[in-house]
Amino acid sequence: MSLGNDMPDDPGAPANTDPEGASPNEAEAAVDEARLAQETPDGDFPEGAEDGGNIAEELDDIDAEIGGLQDDPDVEVESAEDDAARDLQNEGLEPVDDGVGAGVTSSVEKQLEEMTADLKRVSAEYTNYRRRAERDRAATFELAKAQVASDLLPIADDFDLAEKHGDLKEEGPLKVFSDKFTKLIADLGVEKFGQEGEAFDPNFHEAVQDMSSGDEKTVATVLRAGYRMGDSVLRTAMVVIGDPE
């Protein structure tokens, strides 16, 4: 009795299951044949077991295909990507494109450049403001000094008249005050000008009388001295113009 080709079409029929349908020798032969099929290597079935050989070959082919799929990394990567995309779609999200990240980086770099340019401009404006503020403060300080000096000029005129009348003696108390005042205005940067014999200059001299006869004019008499501080004229000298001697 053969397992491959002598198998009845209806093994469950009573005639096929009746113990009298097979002799003891046939049953023992069938058992031996089945044991031999289990112990025989793949592809080396005994005669009469051709169907078993075909089944073994098909199983080997299926195992080879499954092993190839497991060893192919592309299949795993594609499967993982498909699963991720499917999860995003299930959550109502779209896969993020790599170009979006590049666009965000470009936008951030542009904003950084604009902020850097604004910072440089503000820094330059602040530097110019400091310079302008320092210049204005210096000008204001000089103007205040000039104003104070101008307010002191009448006192200087009084000391000049006292000197012309001989009231400033070497040992007199008025001489001491005169010397201190002269030093005070000198420390402020005030200079006295307007001496007899100087060439007449309308920028520094105010002529109250012209006694000259020619084109060349000089200061003949000083009626009131002039004062200047640096390049600024605090007061012009009041003079009488005459001919040079």
- Sequential DSSP letters for 75-121: HHHHHHHHHHHHHHHHTT--PPPHHHHHHHHHHHHHHHHHHHHHHHH
Domain termination site, one of 90, 106, 124: 90
| CB distance 46 to 37 below 8 Å | yes
Q: Is 150 within a domain? A: no
Q: For 199, phi and psi rounded to 5 degrees?
A: -70, 140
Strand partners, 118: none
- Residue 120 phi, psi (nearest 5): -65, -40
In a domain, 34, yes or no: yes
Q: Within a domain: residue 117?
A: no
pLDDT confidence of residue 31:
56
When the pLDDT of each residue in the chain is averaged and rounded to a whole number, the result is: 75
CA-CA-CA-CA dihedral for 91, 96, 100, 102, to nearest 10: 140
Total domains in the chain come to 2
Q: Which of 90, 123, 143 is the last residue of a domain?
A: 90
CATH at 228:
2.30.22.10
Residue written as tokens 């295909």?
65
How many residues appear in the chain?
245
Q: How many CB atoms are closer than 10 A to CB 222?
A: 19
Residue 125 lies in a domain: no
Assess contact for 193 and 227: CB atoms under 8 A: yes
Instruction: Answer yes or no: is 101 within a domain.
Output: no
Percent of the chain with pLDDT over 70: 58
Last residue of a domain, one of 50, 65, 90: 90
Give the mean model confidence (pLDDT) for residues 144-156.
93
User: Please, which pLDDT band fits residue 237 given cuts at 50, 70 and 90?
Assistant: very high
Q: Maximum distance among all alpha carbons in the chain? A: 177
* Tokens of residue 2, six digits: 């053969």
The answer to whether 200 touches 240, Cβ cutoff 8 Å, is no
Query: What three-state secondary structure class fits 152?
Result: helix
**Is there a domain that residue 183 lies in?**
no
Query: Which candidate, 201, 204, 175, 202, places its Cα nearest to that of 191?
Result: 204
Report how far residue 81's alpha carbon sits from residue 236's, in angstroms, rounded to the nearest whole number: 96
Dump pLDDT digits (tens) for 22-81. 555 565 666 566 566 555 544 444 444 444 455 656 666 666 655 554 555 444 445 555
Identify whether 173 is part of a domain: no
- Residue 163 belongs to some domain of the structure: no
Partner residues linked to 232 by β-bridges = 229
Q: What is the pLDDT of residue 144?
A: 92
Provide the residue range defining the domain that includes 202: 192-245
pLDDT at residue 39, rounded to an integer? 55
